[in-house]
Amino acid sequence: MRIDVVTIFPEYLEPLNVSLVGKARARGLLDVRVHDLRSWTHDRHHTVDDTPYGGGPGMVMKPEPWGEALDEVTASATPERQPVLVVPTPAGRPFDQALAVELSQAPWLVFTPARYEGIDRRVVEEYAQRFDVREVSIGDYVLAGGEAPVLVMVEAVARLLPGVLGNAESHRDDSFAAGPMAHLLEGPIYTKPPQWRDRGIPEVLLSGHHGRIARWRRDQALARTAANRPDLIARCDPASLDDHDRAE
């Protein structure tokens, strides 16, 4: 997968050199290119913002640098190989695991993290005529810019790419993954030593009884989801709740 990020803070994206994403890049599974938006400005001050039409607080990102940047970054698009443009904004559709899965299937993502109050609307309109453009929010809070959301989304997408995670099954049981645990949060997990301070681990995990362990894990997931995310329980497919679940 190719990923382009256009930003006025290229250094903010340095964590993309580290850990899972960094390793995926080093192994050639991910081609990440970070671009400085200011290199598409032409004035002495490299201006990227201006005051909003209609008044109001804050500044708005000018359309011209974004237009030049996106034209150049997407110049190699072909009908067979189209980028998906991802525009981080608190006004976007909520980012979730389903969207991460969908984006992980695209060959090419272009992220446009904004600063200030956002980007002149005409930029989204212009590129929506050419490409699939997604305005995406990572949550109901307002950050100072879209760079942190890009880090979040790239990590969520990258770990779904074939070959990136060591164990092909390691995201099968993820909270929010499809399958038997759909809409449930993962329950608690334990490792050695079997005794830490005065705390042991649940007996069932030592039993070697796979059926009982799976049953216990699902009970724990249900209890945790009911406590932390009752909205997710409400979205559970009733057919996925067996008789034991209903008794809870």
Judged by the rule CB under 6 A, the positions of this chain that interact with ligand ADE are 88-90, 137-139, 141-143, 146, 149
Is 85 labelled as part of a ligand binding site? no
Beta-bridge partner residues of 34: 5
Nearer to ligand ADE, 114 or 221 (CB): 114
The residue from 2, 25, 159, 215 that is catalytic is: 159
Contacts of 190 (CB under 8 A, 6+ apart): 201, 202, 205
174 is catalytic: yes
245 catalytically annotated? no
- From CA 21, how far away is CA 67, in angstroms rounded? 28
Q: Residue 129 carries which side chain, given as an amino acid letter?
A: Q
By CB atoms closer than 10 A (0-12, 13-18, 19+), residue 138 is: buried
- Closest contact distance (angstroms) between CB of 113 and ligand ADE is 7
Q: Please give the DSSP secondary-structure letter assigned to residue 17.
A: G
164 marked among binding-site residues: no
Of 117, 125, 132, 242, catalytic: 117
Residue closer to ligand ADE (CB basis): 140 or 203:
140
Sign of CA dihedral 208, 214, 218, 224: positive
Q: Report the nearest approach of ligand ADE to the CB of residue 100 (Å).
A: 14
Is 140 known as a binding-site position? yes
Which has the closest alpha carbon to 225: 216, 214, 236, 215? 236
Is 159 marked active-site?
yes
Q: Which is nearer to ligand ADE, 53 or 141 (CB)?
A: 141
CB of 7 or CB of 89, closer to ligand ADE: 89
Q: Which of 36, 68, 135, 174 is catalytic?
A: 174
CB 127 to ligand ADE: min, Å? 17
The reply to whether 141 sits in an annotated binding site is yes
Asked whether the beta carbons of 6 and 110 are under 8 A apart, the reply is yes
Question: Distance between CA 221 and CA 13 in Å, rounded?
Answer: 34
* 69 phi and psi angles, rounded to 5 deg: -65, -50
Minimum distance of ligand ADE from residue 142's CB (angstroms): 5
Specify whether 81 is catalytic: no
Catalytic (active-site) positions: 90, 117, 159, 174
- Binding residues are 138-143
- Binding residues for S-adenosyl-L-methionine are 138-143
